[in-house]
Every structure is written in C-alpha cells, then in structure tokens.
Structure 1
Amino acid sequence: MASSSTVRYRVNGHPHDLVSVRDRGLAYGDGLFETIRVVNGRATLLERHLGRLGRGMSVLRIEMPLTSLRSELEAAAVELGEGLLKQIVTRGEAGRGYAMPAIAEPTRILQLLPPPEYPAAHTLKGIRLFPCATRLAHQPLLAGLKHLNRLEQVLARSEWQDSGHAEGLMCDMAGHPVEGTMSNLLLRLDGRWVTPDLRHCGVRGVMRDYLMDQLAAEGEPVLERSVTLDELLACDELVCCNSVFGVWPVVGLGDRKWAVGPGARRLQVFSEQVLS
C-alpha cells in the first residue's frame, strides 16, 4: 500500500482515460458522482457514499449493482493508500436525443487522486465565505443528489479568485442560504444546531448526515429547516463541512465576523473520527 502522487484512471474496471463521445454523461450530465476520502487504505464513509449513489441511481433510473462497485472501491482504496477516489457513474452510450435508451450499459469512471492540499489554517483558524451571486434553482426531484449537472457551482466558484476566501455561500432564488459551493452548512442558532432544508435544491452531503447522526446520538438532534440570511448572520457559530476536508469553522462573511467556538471544535472531533 503506497500513497499516490499521480492521478490514475479506470473506465469500467480497466486502466483507461478515455470515454466515448456518445456517453450521456458528457452529452447531458446524465449521471452521478461521489468523491471519497481514502485514509490508510480505507474508503471513509463508504456505506454512506454508496447509499447516496444508490438513491441517485434510483431517481435517474440507472441500473447497476452496488455490490461489485463496493468491491472495486475497496480494492482501489487499498491500492491508493492515501488520497481521494472519485467515482462517476453515467447512463452510458446512446444516440442523439433526450429519451433514455431502452437498453443501457452504465459507464463507470474511477479516478485515483492524491490527497488534497488544504491549508491547516482552514481547520485551526477558520475560513471566510464569499457571498456568491449565483443562485440555486429549485428542482425537488434532483434535490439532495450529487448528479453531474454542477454548472451552478462552477459559476459560483468563478466569482472569486483571491486566497482570502476558501468557500462560497450559495443561496436559492428566494435568497435563503442553502450550502457552500462544495460543502454543507451547520449553524448554532438559539442554543441548537440548525442546517438548511434541502428538499428543493442543494446536495445532501455525506459528512452532513454523519454529523447529524452523531449529534442525535448524543441527544442533540439537528433542526432541518429553511434559514434566512438574517438568521445566518445572527447565529453564534457557523461551519462548513464535507467528506473530504471534514469541518471548517466560518469566521467571516462580508462584514460579519465569528469566533471559532466550542461547537465547531466538537464537530471537528466527530469528523476526525472517520477521516483520520
């Protein structure tokens, strides 16, 4: 088992870095993906990643057994040692037109990536959020899924280039905070944890679900509901989380400043239990 410093690719289980121009993932974003942190040869939070992937395949009606995919990911994690696995699943090849092919053979694309290089200060001292102008459209059918249509996030991330912001705040069309460009939000408000409702848009993050389960197990369930921007600005603590970096405390958004509080440190302990 050795740490990887180069990117490796597999397509349908074979070493390859090319896919067909007829693949519907390329043509229409007709597919899903998961980015999985690998630590000591172990694919962290794997069952949760596979669970979200399975929910997405059910909604998109992509038929593929998860048992073989699990085995491939576990073997790739051992081979990689430390880093990231990015698993993409598309509907596969088809002709022109939106109609789903009567018979489809899904395409599996696996990337074996080196570990991410985030500054340690993001975890220790916190980050500033950029207030993105790009809004998330409501589509309840796709809400929560990590599908391949991520142009809203691409446009939002293009709004800042400076190193002073590590993540961006994304709101829906009504101006309600939903998530970051690559993370979910949890805020400490009126003595309890609250996270934005994702029934209409946004990605249901694996780390978000894990942290919510950990808090619930300790008798502190997280409230999922619509959050206003005024509420977010008035909260006592704010964090971003995902399954790659864990938990980053938020210390600034525009003119608003926060201190790194005990709640954020507690969530970091939870995340480190699975990411280290």
Structure 2
Amino acid sequence: MFLINGKERDSLAANDRAIQFGDGCFTTARVRHGRVDFLEAHLQRLQATCRALMIPFADETLLREEMQQLAAQKGDGVLKVVITRGSGGRGYSPAACLTPTRMLSLSPAPVHYARWREAGITLALSPVRLGRNPHLAGLKHLNRLEQVLIRAHLEQTDAEEALVLDSEGWVTECCAANLFWRAGDTVFTPRLTHAGVNGIMRQHCLSRLAQSRYHVVEVSAREEAVQQADEVLLCNALMPVVPVKAFGDVRYLSHELYEFLAPYCELSD
C-alpha cells in the first residue's frame, strides 16, 4: 500500500526528482501492534536530513498523523517514509521545486530476523566500497546504488550480511545495518564522518551504552579489528539487534553484548 501526499496511489510523477536524481531521503520503521517504534526519532531523522539536503519540508505534523494512521491498519509490519524534493524544472537546480513529495508504504514484517536473532548470522567482506563524502555521511538519502551492488554481490555468497569498507579501506557498516564489536569491556563502532548511515538503532544503542559499564569508542578501523573481536553484532530499526556468529574463518562464541542490548532495543519512544 502506498500513500503519496495523503492520497492512496501507486505511482510517482515521472519528473519527480527522486526519479530524476535520487533527490530525497527516507527512513524505515518497525510497526508493532499498530504503532510505529521510535516514531519521534524517525521524524527527527527525516527533518534533519531534509535540512542537510536543503529540502524545504514543513509537513511534520501531517506526516506524523499519516504514519500513525497507516500503522494502525496493520498489527505488525514495515513502514517506509520517503521525502523527495518534489517535481519542477529540468536540470540540477532545485529552484523550481517548491513542494516536497511525501510517500509512505506499508509492507509485511521480515520473518527471517527472528531466526537471525536466535541462530546468529555470518558476514562476508563486500568487494563494493563506499565513496567518501563528508557532506552526505550519516544521512539516509535516496542514492542507494552502492547498497544495491553490495546486496547483489552478497547474494552470490552463503553469508547473510556484508561487511562494507569505504574507499580508503575503513570498516563503515553492513549492507543494511550498523555494526558494533566488543573487545573485553570496550565496544567499538565505525566513525561515520566520511561515509555510512547513522541509523536510528545505532543511536539508541550508543545512548544505552553510554549509561553502562562498557567503554564506547567510535573508531576508524580495518577489518582485522573486527576479526580480532570477542563479539560482533549488527543493528537496524527492524532487526533490531542480531549477533554475528562468523566472519570468514573467524567464529564468535560470546553473546554478552547482544544479551545486554537486546532488551533495550525492544523499547520504543
């Protein structure tokens, strides 16, 4: 089901800048019992990204209502919200784009995440690297061709997720998740100043870890740091956290950090 600018439709204008240039942003939220998990955090992300992309989005109140109304129609599922700069003009200039487009869609909840949480997953190193761009780093914009290629390569392996490096070889994220690893009482997560997405669940985990006995470090690290860790886990708004059991020939036996974070990642605002 799609809701575009408040109307039930399944098509977007051909001159919408999302189609022409990938000009926009999105967020993906988990719906449980007819409610949107971390609703305010998702709205704040969209507003912050629109500001960074200079998209004049001012319909937050209306969008909140649409998200809640759409979620209420389904017990559990996935709610995706896309904000585009809208339609107008032919070239790169956004000057003629005065009204952003908001698009909401609701789909079934992924069934495999429960299995992943119970059994753990394996990682494969992706041959596709992320371009470095400090101006766009952290943002969940619509330019996702890198992730499409990462997923295409991943599907040629037996692994469930991909460890992704940036163009300089620094560990950045996974195809559709953020990454944490633990060595003793120190928890590491990639620094996202040049590439990657600063996910809602990553932010939630960092907030919880800041109040714990663990020492948290955002770091620039090579893949060897992940291989040498005591424990590795992934997170996103839908999983919400999943333990990694193997990366290549390295196996991880500890679930200490996962068991600490998992209960808090089920909490919503």
Secondary structure of 1:248's aligned partner: strand
Q: Which runs of no fewer than 5 residues in structure 2 stay unpaired?
A: none
1:209 to 203, 208, 211: 203
2:216 to 222, 227, 239: 222
In structure 2, the CA distance between the partners of 1:123 and 1:162, relative to structure 1 (3 Å rule), is: farther
How do 1:251-262 and structure 2 match up within 5 A? Answer: 251-262=245-256
Superposition misfits of 4+ residues, deviation over 2 angstroms: 160-164, 217-222, 272-275
In structure 2, the CA distance between the partners of 1:187 and 1:68, relative to structure 1 (3 Å rule), is: same
Secondary structure of 2:126's aligned partner: strand
Confirm or deny: 8 A CA contact 1:215 1:222 kept in the other structure. yes
Confirm or deny: 8 A CA contact 1:169 1:181 kept in the other structure. yes
1:48 to 34, 41, 46: 41
Report whether the alignment pairs 1:34 with 2:27. yes
Aligned-partner Cα distance in 2 for 1:190–1:160:
30
Match for 1:171: what amino acid? Answer: L
Instruction: Show the counterpart of 2:77.
Output: 83
1:115 to 109, 113, 122: 109
How do 1:1-276 and structure 2 match up within 5 A? Answer: 8-65=1-58, 66-118=60-112, 120-161=114-155, 164-220=158-214, 222-274=216-268
Secondary structure of 1:194's aligned partner: strand
Q: CA deviation at 1:162?
A: 5.5
Identity %: 38
How big is each residue's C-alpha offset from its partner over 1:79-118, in whole Å with a ceiling of 9 and x where there is no partner?
2221011101100002221111244211111101111121
Instruction: Show the counterpart of 1:5.
Output: none
Match for 2:228: what amino acid? Answer: A
Secondary structure of 1:147's aligned partner: coil
Match for 1:174: what amino acid? Answer: E
Q: How many residues in Structure 1 have an aligned counterpart in Structure 2?
A: 268
Match for 1:250: what amino acid? Answer: V
Q: CA deviation at 1:231?
A: 1.1
Aligned-partner Cα distance in 2 for 1:195–1:56:
22
How big is each residue's C-alpha offset from its partner over 1:33-83, in whole Å with a ceiling of 9 and x where there is no partner?
111100011100111111111111001111122122112111211122210
In structure 2, the CA distance between the partners of 1:91 and 1:103, relative to structure 1 (3 Å rule), is: closer
Aligned-partner Cα distance in 1 for 2:115–2:96:
51
How big is each residue's C-alpha offset from its partner over 1:123-179, in whole Å with a ceiling of 9 and x where there is no partner?
012100121000011101110010000011110110132673111111011211110
Normalising to structure 2: TM-score of the pair? 0.95
In structure 2, the CA distance between the partners of 1:32 and 1:217, relative to structure 1 (3 Å rule), is: same
Secondary structure of 2:50's aligned partner: helix
Q: Which runs of no fewer than 5 residues in structure 1 stay unpaired?
A: 1-7
In structure 2, the CA distance between the partners of 1:199 and 1:146, relative to structure 1 (3 Å rule), is: same
Match for 1:48: what amino acid? Answer: A
